[in-house]
Structure 1
Amino acid sequence: MEEVDKILIHALRQVGTEVGENIERVGQFTSELIVEAVVRCIRVIDPGPGGVLPTTLPPGMSARFRVGMSLAQACQDIGYKGEIGYQTFLYSNEPEIRSLLMFLVEKLPRESSEASDQPTGKSAVLHRAIATVIKAQLAVSWVPLNCRLPLHGETQSRAASQKFSVHPLSLPYCNEGQKSLKEVKEYKRDILLPATAQSPSQTSMVSSMLEQHMADLSSTQEWDTEWKSQGLLYRLAPQEYRSRKLKRLRNRIKEQLRSVAMQSPESIYSVCRPSSELSDLLRAFRGPAPFDLILTKGTHFTHTQKFTFTEEATAVKSQVHSGRHSEGDTQLHQQEELALLQQQFQQLCSDIDQIAADMRHRSVTSTQVFDELKQRELENAKNQEDMQVKKTTLELLPDADNNLQKLQSQVETGASRVVNLASQWEKHRAPLIEELRRLKQICSSKDLESSTKLSEIKHLHEKICMATEDAKKKEESYKQLVTELESLPRDVSRSAYTQRILEIVGNINKQKEDITKILSDTKELQKEINNLTGKLDRTFAVTDELVFKDAKKDESVRKSYKYLAALQENCNQLIQTIEDTGTILREIRDLEEQVGIS
């Protein structure tokens, strides 16, 4: 385990975790260091949710609990299948932390070496030419505008230093497996402009196309990754999985809106603070309506104040219209009225705040009083029970001998009854235990079968991806060969090419036979390993049951049971070490091949 811990510590230091030089194994990690290491790894694996996670633990216990739950949820989102919760980070256990860190380190993106064989064909040649020109332009040093010579006019002109801008494009295509409406098809066929005509300027057309292409490609890759890592575990169709995910997202949005709407009274009376987020959100949902129409319900106090303001405003309007004063007096009177109304408005806001504070204080006080009342009632009930017991004891004291004999007889009767019930329970317990063991065995066999089928499905997906890539490479090779064939002269004899093609076909058939033989050997070996693993698990279960049954009576058998458990644990560790050694050897072999190729 020390070598594994050293590898983990080295990988954590590479992602930015500050691990001290005196720390040599995972068991020396503190809770703060564990949280920092996990957050750093999650940020490298998935920067989206990892960017909002804190790298340090807050001082409060409730805040620590929330951080632990957030980290556990983030680890489960990226595919961790082990048992994890807030206790994993706050009360660390060395094996759990080691397994979690090993999973995160394995999920870290690795730099892939460049392939030595460059792709060929017209498109590949064009891509290399574009890359060469861009590298040459980037290598030229920048010169200020006033110091430029005619030499720099081609690469550093004003036209070449324009800022790229991206505009959204509407492309006339739809995803496979989805039916579009007839009107949408007619719109895309007859009315929708070409992609080159949708951009307002020619300079932004290329950047808009690249942005659209990258958005589509990234969404496809994200869905592919999510389906292979999480979607297959649900055992649902892709369309059903997407609908369930959309339903969960809508439920979360509803819960967030409901929790924001059910806030304290200060958020309801948001007139004094019109810049609150809740009022902006409600105003956005209800449109540009006046703020006094947003809250459709109100208390008796708000209705009384509104009615008072309406009467005062009506009286003011009637006085202004009936007076017929001059224009200056009217404006002065309106300013005074406005100042008076603003003062009354501020006074009402302060009264509302004071009333809300008093309500909170009274609610806290009433809660404390109710708690104290419940505690007193519990104490009173306990005292009454004690008093009843003492009263009964005092009543039994005058005739103590007879009462003791009666109590002794009741105790003996109860003991005999307990023995009788125990014998009856043993009769019912034996068949139930047998049924439980049988069901456990069936469940373990079904779990093993489902895990085997899941691994086969994943293996088939990997084969499909490899076959797709191989088909793409063969398509490129075919295009290249067609290009070369068109460029070759027509007067060359075909016998040499025919002989060469036959030799290549023979080599390919031989390689196919070798590959088929290797695959069949691998399948037989995997099948044998699965059979031996199942047989080993069943044998250990039966042995454990037999030894545990005899360990209750014999001390030597109890020691044998402990040795059996230790042997099982050591064997599991040995098998895990062998698998890790094989993985490391494969990685070493791959690295050696890459070094030899480069």
Structure 2
Amino acid sequence: MEEVDKILIHSLRFSGTDIPEEVQSIREFTTELIVESVVRCLRVINPSVGSSLCHVLPPGMSARFRIGMSLAQACQDLGYQGEVGYQTFLYSNEPEIRRLLLFLVEKLPRDASEDANQPVGKSTTLHRAIAAAIKEQLALPWVPPACRTPRLQLLQGSCLLKRFQAQPLVLPRESDPFLGKVPPERKEFFVKFLPPVSAQLSRPASLMPSLLELNMAELSTAQDWENEWKSQGLGSRMTPEEYHQWKRQRLQRRLLDQFRQASPRAGPAHQGTAQDLIQLLGAFGAGREHAGALAKGSRFTHTQHLAYKQEAESPEQVETLPMSRTSEQDLRERQATELEALEGELGHLMEQIEALEGQIATLGLTLTQVEGEVRQRQLGVTERDQVLRVKGCAVQLLPDAENNMAKLQVVVESSAQRVIQLAAQWEKHRVPLIQELRELKALHDSKELESSQRLSEIRELHERIRSSAEEAKRKDDLYKQLLMELESLPKDVSRSAYTQRILEIVGNIRKQKEEITKILSDTKELQKEINGLTGKVDRTFAVTDELVFKDAKRDEAVRKAYKYLAALHENCSQLIQTIEDTGTILREIRDLEEQIESETSKKTLSNLERILSDYRAMKQENAALLSRTRET
């Protein structure tokens, strides 16, 4: 058990339990150490359960009982089949605690138990390296500034702390989600004149905050756009580009309204500035509108486009804003009049657009029908031209019909002879061509078969290359992971020591098995010999009894010998029975000694004393609580 306890203690230390160096077995575990070990294991196995448990025992007995019940319930939830309760932790014995800790250690997650066919990626390796570094830094105790070494001064001092101050950064982009494709001038600026990110900052310490701020802004913008597109953009039946342009135009319109409202209220010194801003915004809106007008969309989109276009094409209205101070009532009346005029004009334009759309649809249908009729008439004209040409030739040949018929007959015969000659010539050329075609087909089939075999071999080779590359990548990742785990392991413990210890344990177990087998074989041989001797004694006594009994009828001395023989046999039987009883008693004594040892290991007396002391402490706590309630 000593080797088992050492391995168990090593696993508990690896899980984060602070076990003193002088503790070498489970027998030396205190109640506080048992509770801490169980809580640390539960935190590693199931952080959601272990985080709610405290690894330090409180002084109050009621709180200790509650912690014991919580730990027992958590172990049962994990699947522990043994008996466990608050007494297991508060009044523990060695065998029960060893079984419980072995169960928890077996439940601990191990990196070596991962599937080797699923290599860990670079991100997981990086996360594990970061976690190992953080764990190493957290394991270092806090040291006062005057006692710190240079390394501890770097880790625990304030020299590495910097203010989180971000600065604007410019990153090269291929496209902008709101402005579309980046123009060539901006790309040229990115390639030739844009400095690196580290050179854009006035302080090197603000590089990381600036990158984090930029990344967070991009993520927030993308998330806001996704939410807005799902909530409003999809219902507008526009494309994302049209929706962006519509939002830009709406923003321009709002800015124009704000400038129009702010222009009469501004003083003489600000009227020129407001007028310049309005003109600049109008020019910007007109340029944007001509540059990226909507090509497709619904009637509502076209209506808004026309409305925005009318507002953008009325710079004279913006320029003719009154420079003098007018009353708000006149301004509202003028705006209402302009709004009514614009609405009337918009309605008139909408009616004209609808009428024109109807006319366009009617004309389109008429045009389609006319084009179909024209195609049909063109086909009829072509057929009639061919018939007319044939009939014209026949009319020209009618005056000299006999001579023409004779000439036609001669032409037909000559054509037939020519066809026969051509057929004979073709037959001469056809046989070798057919033979060559067959040979080429056979060659093509053989080459095709060979090419298909080559193609299958190439595919298999590509598959092997791909699998070999994946295997190499997996082994490379596994090698990096194992190398990192090797570096994270403590350097003061050698692998050979653990290997030697395991080999010694295996050798001891093998020797014990051999000794047990030898003892069992000796026991069997001894039992067989005892059975043989017992049978021999019984047979000898039966033969002797029969012989002596025959002579005992005639001789008095033989009769006494027979009595002595019976008494001897009875005494020997009693002696054998006594020896067997003695062996049974010795076995019972050994069993009782083992039970005594096990009961002694359970610390029954000490547990009873602790239970009594805890009972007195609980009575004192109850009395204190009663006195407090009476005082209140």
Q: TM-score range by the shorter chain?
A: 0.3 to 0.5
Structure exhibiting the larger radius of gyration computed from Cα positions = 2
Structure 2 length as normaliser, TM-score?
0.31
Larger RCO, structure (CA 8 Å, separation 6 or more)? 2
Structure 1 length as normaliser, TM-score?
0.32
